[in-house]
Chains A and B, each alone.
Chain A
């Protein structure tokens, strides 16, 4: 038997390769062992492209009865996922796009130019030390509602958040492009230089950095990172420091490579000013994700709310009526997430309806409600036994509550 067969038994395999068929990264096993297999993948992709010469398109996926092979072709790098799971092609495609963003954030888009001029170039070597970060990216993107393209703030009183905002204002510096007070999972406060915006994918990449490298928490770092949606050609520099004995990080990002001292000074200033808030911040973080029992969401098992913009909010996955039970297994959560995704996708197609879009999907163990309006998107999971009239009532109640709670759930 093939000695690498073991890695092929995994449910979801990921490969990154160059268009010349050189392995760059593999989730399981060693690149060197998989050279032949990866070479074959590249050949298949290349052949399809050459058969359909002239069509500006490339192979998207192949499928067997139980396996999807999903392919993302960029100019010089191919991303392939072989999945035996229940994930939809779109969501896998999304994960591959995130992988691509991560590769760009590590190497910048100059890697494309390099590969186009030197197809035999060894990218794997340049990606050294990022294996765990890519693996983490795959895991976290599978359990977060990436399709919404947003991030989730910590639920906390608006008065505290404005105090933090004031601290960032008091320690501002012209070299600060973006500033964040965040945990590896949740955003507490974000600052953007006037006229700048930060793309949710760039935030996701930053989150990935904080989640993947625990060593960042014990030191201060000054690290180059490429935020592809800000500028995919070059690096910006991130000053990263964590407040001692907490998960709270102060991250200041600059486009000036020699701003370390100034940014350190700002971060020290910010930390000094918010030090009195740390106990309450710790409490707020401990409550995250908040339980649905703290929301006025009768009948709801779970919901996902996104007002206009790039932030969403959702409670943890406790069944509302049975809080004594352990958290439901991750598989159920993923299932609901998948259903949210397909409902959301359909609502996108139906955008030409304009205005109020409502859809209710009924499954054996839940009803998925999807409401889209110009001002917000709401997805929710409700028991299947509840009549549509009461569903409407519950939804209205939840929306009223969300409106009143909005300033605490989101960053202004």
Chain B
């Protein structure tokens, strides 16, 4: 790993079928398939984003949304710097599930976790069940980034990760600037409590 880059683990959480994998595939590989299979467990992808101050290497955990994997999600978010909570704007239930995910992160997630909310499937806006205003004010109330996205049309995907990258950079408690203008995530602050917790639950 060279000096000019930083690493940041990001985890995507949300109900099954809201498009988590599609968002990741759009971001990482710029591809889209309408009928991808459900994710099993979690898959790990990475992508480097260039910022004016240097680069951030995103390590992305794309988790499975099925209920049976729910209890296992913690091992993926325990070490994350940022979490993207995804819901489907055409599905009210997925919005409520997203709120529950947030609750869980507050209770059990690592401290200083950056949270972003993505209202996915923007291309189906005519079937919208969750008003943007509602989601936006929820996001504001919890201090989260809010973005409407569409993995299908690329809408908002790039910006979503850019904003997260910027926030990671700004978040002084977990990121320190170095002399050569690089960014480094100091894992000691954000990761240790989570790891310790996880061991407790899995033993």
A residues in contact (CB < 8 Å) with B: 106-107, 125-130, 132, 209, 212-216, 218-225, 235, 237-238, 257-258, 260
Contact = CB atoms under 8 A, between A and B. Distances in A.
Interface in B1-32: 16, 21, 29
A126 B12 CA distance: 20
Contact of B67 (A126, A209, A219, A258): A126
B17 to A, nearest CB: 9
Nearest to A235: B72
B131 to A, nearest CB: 27
B78 to A, nearest CB: 8
Mostly, the A contact residues are mixed
Interface string B113-134: 0000000000000000000000
B21 A215 contact: yes
A108 to B, nearest CB: 9
B193 interface: no
21 contacts: A126-B66, A129-B16, A129-B64, A129-B66, A130-B38, A212-B37, A213-B40, A215-B39, A219-B45, A219-B62, A220-B43, A221-B44, A222-B43, A223-B41, A224-B69, A224-B72, A237-B41, A257-B202, A258-B75, A258-B202, A260-B44
B38 A128 contact: yes
Contacts of B36: 215
Contacts of A126: 66-68
Given A107-B68, A258-B198, A213 B42 contact: no
B133 to A, nearest CB: 31
Contacts of A216: 40, 43
A222 B41 contact: yes
A94 B62 CA distance: 35
A267 to B, nearest CB: 12
Nearest to B76: A222
A106 B40 CA distance: 10
Nearest 10 CB-CB pairings of A with B: A223-B41, A129-B38, A219-B43, A221-B43, A128-B66, A257-B202, A126-B68, A220-B44, A129-B66, A223-B40
Given A107-B68, A125-B67, A258-B195, A222 B44 contact: yes
B199 interface: yes
Nearest to B21: A215
Given A132-B37, A219-B62, 17 more contacts: A126-B67, A127-B68, A129-B39, A213-B40, A215-B39, A218-B29, A221-B41, A221-B44, A224-B41, A224-B72, A237-B41, A257-B198, A257-B202, A258-B198, A258-B199, A258-B202, A260-B44
Contacts of B21: 215
Interface in B72-87: 72, 75-76
A171 to B, nearest CB: 19
A385 B128 CA distance: 71
A238 B41 contact: yes
A260 B72 CA distance: 13
Nearest to A132: B37
Contacts of A215: 21, 36-37, 39, 43
A107 B37 CA distance: 19
A378 B170 CA distance: 69
Contacts of B29: 218
Interface string B191-202: 000010011001
Contacts of B198: 257-258
B16 A221 contact: no
B67 A221 contact: no
Contacts of A209: 40
Contacts of A214: 37
Contact of B75 (A128, A218, A257): A257
A222 B40 contact: no
Contacts of A235: 72
A237 B39 CA distance: 15
Given A257-B202, A258-B202, A128 B40 contact: no
Contacts of B72: 224, 235, 257
Interface string B94-108: 000000000000000
Contacts of B66: 126, 128-129
Given A215-B21, A258-B199, A129 B40 contact: yes
B63 to A, nearest CB: 10
Contacts of B202: 257-258
B40 A221 contact: yes
Contacts of A221: 40-44
A127 B16 CA distance: 12
